[in-house]
Structure 1
Amino acid sequence: MLTRRQIRVKVMQCIYALTLSHDESLEKQKKFLRVSIDNTYILYLLVLSLLIELHKMEENFIRLSSKKYLNENDEKYPDKRKFLNNAVLSQIVNNSMLQNELVKRKLNNWDLHQDYVKIVFNEIKNSELFNLYMLKNESSYEEDKNFIANLFKEVIAPNERIYEYFEDDKLTWVDDIPLVNTFVLKQLRKVNKEFSHSYFLPKLLKDADDMIFADQLLTKTLLNDKKFEGEIQLKTPNWDKDRIADIDAILLKMAICELTGFASIPERVTINEYLEIAKEYSTPKSSIFINGILDKLVKEYRISGKLKKTGRGLL
């Protein structure tokens, strides 16, 4: 789920938090990094569990409807249980592995915040997408899949109240929300009838090397902070330290750390990754500034033999 770039962003956030708090405890920052990475998976599970809660709410709505509290808008639908019986939604609701994971992690957020579920539920019921789907008497598995995927993309994921809830719950989720929503949408579009229950429980990291990379990048950058800062100052003699944006300084230090401390990562990969992160998280001109500094450093490292790269690299 998490790519190397997203791992770099997690490390950047961790170092930035340290900069603001002036807490120099390395172990505390390493713990913060691990928790931040794991929280991405928790967010993913909460997004999926929202679909389960919406199914429960529809089930309750149907039950009340049978007691003559039927919404007039639903009387026109040939099969009032069509949404409830949607094949893909049922796959998620009846996924025992997913349910066990939610119980194990005690993720009962929506039980405590049913008002948010109701907001999304009402938006779904009032959407044209829902109306058109419900007006068809029957649908194939592919049609059910396309409906749930489009419903997630157009109604659930863009919901501002849900975004606000996640943002208030955990600060690091602000950057994780687009990532998780995109991943969930891909999962919904690729699911098939023969999927295994583990399909909706993907690995957070590709392999153990990713966590090692994250831990080492954080540790090496922090332990060599003064050294890397000195190298940056040598390449920016006309710049006062305070004039360099905090994020730019952090990204430069992380990039220097990768260039000199991670032999298997090609220099071009490192430079491109940090330029892209700078475009998203720093000032409009940051990527140009960072590229100029790194270009000078790479040329210097090549001459001095400090730049030693091996293998095809880890992307």
Structure 2
Amino acid sequence: MTRRGIREEIFKLLFEYELIDNNIEKRINDVIKEKNLEKEDEIDFLRSYVTDIIANKDILIERIKDVLEGWTYERLGTIEKVLLKISFYEITIEKIGYEIAINEVLEISKKYSYSDTKDFLNGILARLIKNIKEGKSNF
């Protein structure tokens, strides 16, 4: 499975978790089995991202709140919250190149959200990158 495909599964797992706070370890194992993931790096990528994003939820939410302008975190839809957590995690914690992280999350948003969500997320992520480049963010 491609990294994008795995990111999509990560998105689905986190979306479900956000809505019903389920047994995430069981759901991760279900997805590994359903998608026939056998390669260790694919399984590790899926498992570590989901568990790390959940473990760092409070930090990620604070970082998102710091970048939002004219919005509160609470007003965001569940899809937007999950996609922002994934991209903020990749950019600020995993230190994945921001071009990759932004492109991946925008592609997922095109598939699972409204057409204007992509532009909304892109604006927030552009502000995050600007703050990082200008040294306004300490991460």
Structure-1 separation of matches of 2:133 and 2:49: 21
Contact 1:10–1:33 (Cα < 8 Å) also in 2: no
What secondary structure does 2:35 align onto? helix
Structure-2 separation of matches of 1:292 and 1:250: 16
**Counterpart of 1:8?**
7
Root-mean-square deviation over aligned CA pairs: 2.0
Matched ranges for 1:68-217 at <5 A: 204=37, 207-217=39-49
**Counterpart of 2:20?**
21
**Counterpart of 1:236?**
68
Structure-1 separation of matches of 2:25 and 2:129: 28
Which structure 1 residue ranges, 4+ long, deviate > 4 Å from structure 2?
none
Deviates more, 1:298-307 or 1:277-286: 298-307
Q: Which amino acid aligns with 1:243?
A: R
The alpha-carbon deviation at position 306 of structure 1 amounts to 5.6
**Counterpart of 1:287?**
118
Alignment pair present for 1:300 and 2:126:
no
Question: CA-to-partner distance for each residue in 1:165-191, whole Å, 9 max, x for gaps?
Answer: xxxxxxxxxxxxxxxxxxxxxxxxxxx
The alpha-carbon deviation at position 250 of structure 1 amounts to 0.4
Structure-2 separation of matches of 1:306 and 1:31: 35
Alignment pair present for 1:39 and 2:38:
no
Aligned pair count?
Answer: 138
Q: TM-score, normalised by structure 2?
A: 0.86
Structure-1 separation of matches of 2:74 and 2:86: 18
Contact 1:260–1:306 (Cα < 8 Å) also in 2: no
Contact 2:32–2:43 (Cα < 8 Å) also in 1: no
Structure-2 separation of matches of 1:209 and 1:215: 10
Q: Which has the higher Rg, Structure 1 or Structure 2?
A: 1
Alignment pair present for 1:227 and 2:59:
yes
Structure 2 unmatched runs, 5+: none
Structure-1 separation of matches of 2:98 and 2:62: 20
The alpha-carbon deviation at position 244 of structure 1 amounts to 1.3
Structure-1 separation of matches of 2:118 and 2:42: 25
Structure-2 separation of matches of 1:274 and 1:286: 11
Structure-1 separation of matches of 2:72 and 2:93: 27
**Counterpart of 1:30?**
25
Contact 2:17–2:24 (Cα < 8 Å) also in 1: yes
What secondary structure does 2:53 align onto? helix
Question: CA-to-partner distance for each residue in 1:145-179, whole Å, 9 max, x for gaps?
Answer: xxxxxxxxxxxxxxxxxxxxxxxxxxxxxxxxxxx
Structure-2 separation of matches of 1:270 and 1:258: 6
Structure 1 unmatched runs, 5+: 42-203, 308-315
What secondary structure does 1:239 align onto? coil
Contact 2:64–2:73 (Cα < 8 Å) also in 1: no
Q: Which amino acid aligns with 2:94?
A: F
Contact 1:251–1:278 (Cα < 8 Å) also in 2: yes
Q: TM-score, normalised by structure 1?
A: 0.41
**Counterpart of 1:136?**
none
Q: Percent identity?
A: 28
What secondary structure does 2:80 align onto? helix
Structure-2 separation of matches of 1:283 and 1:243: 16
CA gap of 1:289–1:22, structure 2 versus 1, over 3 A, is: same
The alpha-carbon deviation at position 234 of structure 1 amounts to 2.3
**Counterpart of 1:65?**
none
The alpha-carbon deviation at position 274 of structure 1 amounts to 0.4
The alpha-carbon deviation at position 246 of structure 1 amounts to 0.5
Deviates more, 1:211-220 or 1:228-237: 228-237
What secondary structure does 1:285 align onto? helix
Question: CA-to-partner distance for each residue in 1:233-267, whole Å, 9 max, x for gaps?
Answer: 2222421334311011101011110112224x322
